[in-house]
Amino acid sequence: MKSITRTTRRTETEVEHDVSTVLFNVFSASALLIGVWAAACLIGGLVSHGFVGMVRGYITAVTGF
């Protein structure tokens, strides 16, 4: 008589690893969006005021004069 042996595999995923991966992706995406927004603002300022105007505005903002 032939006996049948059944083998099962059990795979466990680490929840902490999955959560940290998702959080890393969320923070990376938000950092990318912030960087793109900052670049767009810088380009917009350069187009409307020019390089000299941007430097003058920066110096005025830092010194208050």
58 part of a folded domain: yes
Count of domains in the chain?
1
- Predicted confidence band at 3 (pLDDT cuts at 50, 70, 90)? confident
55 part of a folded domain: yes
Higher pLDDT, 28 or 10: 28
12 part of a folded domain: no
**Once rounded to an integer, what is the mean pLDDT over residues 39-60?**
95
Within 10 A of 54 (CB to CB), how many other CB atoms are there? 14
Domain that holds residue 61: 19-65
10 part of a folded domain: no
36 part of a folded domain: yes
Cβ–Cβ < 8 Å for 25, 33: no
Alpha-carbon torsion (35, 41, 42, 43), positive or negative: positive
- Predicted confidence band at 36 (pLDDT cuts at 50, 70, 90)? very high
pTM beyond 0.85: the answer is no
Does residue 45 have a pLDDT over 90?
Answer: yes
Can you give the pLDDT at residue 10?
Answer: 63
2 part of a folded domain: no
